[in-house]
Amino acid sequence: MGLRYKLLYLVLDGAADRLSDPETTLEKASKPGLDKIAKYGLCGAMYTVGKGIAPESDEAVISLLGYDPHEVYTGRGPIEAVGAGLSLREGYEIAFRANFATIDPSSYRIIDRRVGRSLTSEEARQLAEALDNLDLGAYGGYARVKATIGHRAVVIIGSRTHRLSPMVENNDPAYERKGLISVAAKEFQPFLKEVKPLDNTVEARITAELANLFTRKAVEILDKHPVNEERRRKGLLPANAIVLRDAGGSIPKATPLNTKYNCRFAVLAEMPVEIGIGRIFGADTIVLPPPTGDPRRDYEERLDATLKAISKHDIVYVHLKGPDEPGHDGDFELKKKRIEEIDKYFVQPLLENRPSRLAIIVTADHATPPSVKSHTDDPVPVVFNAEGVAPDEVDAFTEKKCYRGRLGVYEHGWQLLPDIYRRFLAE
């Protein structure tokens, strides 16, 4: 199980912008640590899933770990469920990724799909408990609900008596179902959609009916819940609905990471989707605490966990969330600040305390340009930095500069880690 180097695989969620943007957040950010890694490394670019695919984080991360998501992907819902510590009774339970949302209960018009990002994890936990084990009143149906972080949750629709199918639409109008993958809708009406079957099977029809029953019952319960009454008193949006998307009915099956790379592999993550991927693909999965809002404390904590993991493992994948949300919100300055915080409190101290023979990959799981406010299919920058590996001419970690680096452009994210492993890590 010997490798020439240990490897830190650092992924900055949504850090990239568009190559065509006049100026990107990576270009504007002050990030001496990341730029140093690029200056003394080999740089390139990568389409994290493929050209023309604006990936969601789950399929992007699966790809970054070296798996073709088209071969192993079973939907976002099961991954989030595993990340939240839930099991799935395959054939009789369908897992959905879910958000608490704010709607007009009389018309089902969506006021805010994420409750203004103001819902606390504790509030969400209480709301989820009010819905957990809900009897749906048909087909032996029931719902299991678990809150995760902030406005996010997992909903499992099950039946005690009937087989179910993941081939159903989302009730979230912002995302359209394309097989087992959801893609951002270019235009949509801001109303909760009726869940409809995507194929002409009894299983899909029953699943859609149960999901719609859950949606209606959830609104009735949540709208009057004491948490929401208190939020209204404080002038905050109520979390009085749940939007569902990304149904899946089985757990992905693939060669475990430890076996694939013949080494001890760890995944460090804070969000349920990355936690779920780590667990499903057989890594030693280390759950990071949710961010506190204090970047110095949060990144010092993450760096400490990273260095401990490196001492015990050969490859350590670390996923840092910071830049993605301000990209979705179109906030260029805040996204720039988030990148600068990662550099100041994680990357620079890492370089100061870098263990010997530690190689580093830095990249992003996708682009989330503030100019677009959603994920795009643009290539993301990549750098590989290791002692004894001659650098190229690139002097900064930016989209345009890395694109011209000597690593070249990877057409698919699943090519990156196996290529680096073969060329630089394997004895």
Question: What is the enclosing helix (H) or strand (E) of 339?
Answer: helix 332-342
101 three-class SS: strand
Residue 257 CB-half CA count within 13 A: 26
Residues whose CB falls within 8 Å of the CB of residue 25, separated by 6 or more in sequence, listed in order: 15, 17, 323, 327, 332, 335, 336, 339, 370
Of 396, 150, 123, 124, the closest CA to residue 293 belongs to: 150
Going by the DSSP 8-state scheme, the letter that residue 193 receives in this structure is: P
Q: Which residues pair with 147 in a beta bridge?
A: 153
- Domains with residue ranges and CATH for the chain: 6-73+253-425 (3.40.720.10), 79-248 (no CATH)
Q: What is the pLDDT of residue 317?
A: 98
DSSP assignments along 44-59, one per residue = EEE-SS-TT----HHH
Q: What is the pLDDT of residue 298?
A: 97
Radius of gyration for the alpha carbons in the chain, expressed in angstroms and rounded: 22
Q: What is the pLDDT of residue 427?
A: 81
Q: What is the pLDDT of residue 176?
A: 87
Residues whose CB falls within 8 Å of the CB of residue 201, separated by 6 or more in sequence, listed in order: 165, 167
DSSP assignments along 194-226, one per residue = PP-BSSS-HHHHHHHHHHHHHHHHHHHHHHT-H
Q: What is the pLDDT of residue 1?
A: 52
Q: What is the pLDDT of residue 2?
A: 74
> What residues in the chain have per-residue pLDDT under 50?
none
